Structure 1
Amino acid sequence: MEKKQLILASAMAAVLAVAAQPASASDAAGKEKCYGIAKAAGNDCAGNGHACAGQAAKDMDGKEWKYVAKGTCVEMKGSLKAM
């Protein structure tokens, strides 16, 4: 019985370790960074002197970005480059 518990605990630890990993570039496949569309605290990553998602100070800041489906940024009145 102890061997089964050890295997189960190891499997759970592996699942939790994978879930705790940050998103990678492959997670963004089919997406592009779109600047100037993020709401305050709604950005996907770094910009304007901070390093984390969710730290945009104001709506539609041209230095903040969100991932959107490729080809949709301009339709959303965003930019593919920081403004």
Structure 2
Amino acid sequence: MSTSKIVTSALFAALSLGAIDQAMAQDKGAKEKCYGIAKAGANDCANLTGTHSCAGQASADKDVADWRYVPKGSCKAEGGLSSEEARAKLKK
């Protein structure tokens, strides 16, 4: 493989990664965290209680402390809670 093809491939790969990061950032902006709707093993990140810190570690369906991203404005329709509502429910 010629040097110019290697350089071109590397440049294309670097530019592609930048486009992917930008698309992910835009996508995240159109979403919100929705608590209490994640199924076991299907949460998006750490929970409110601190018992786990990674995606996919929810141990029960619809645990109030676990969340997943949903399209902005659709959380209530899915039966979910905002962060404040989930924290208040956990305090009870």
Give the Cα–Cα distance (whole angstroms) in 2 for the partners of residues 16 and 40 of structure 1: 33
State the percentage of identical aligned residues.
Answer: 44
Secondary structure, counterpart of 1:66 in structure 2: strand
> Unaligned stretches of 5+ in structure 1?
none
Q: Which runs of 4+ in 1 moved over 4 A?
A: 15-18
> How many residues end up aligned between the 2 structures?
82
- Give me the CA root mean square deviation: 2.9
Give the Cα–Cα distance (whole angstroms) in 2 for the partners of residues 45 and 52 of structure 1: 5
Match of 1:69 in 2: 71
Taking structure 1 as the reference length, the TM-score comes to 0.74
Secondary structure, counterpart of 2:70 in structure 1: strand
Give the Cα–Cα distance (whole angstroms) in 1 for the partners of residues 76 and 60 of structure 2: 20
Q: Does 1:7 align with 2:15?
A: no
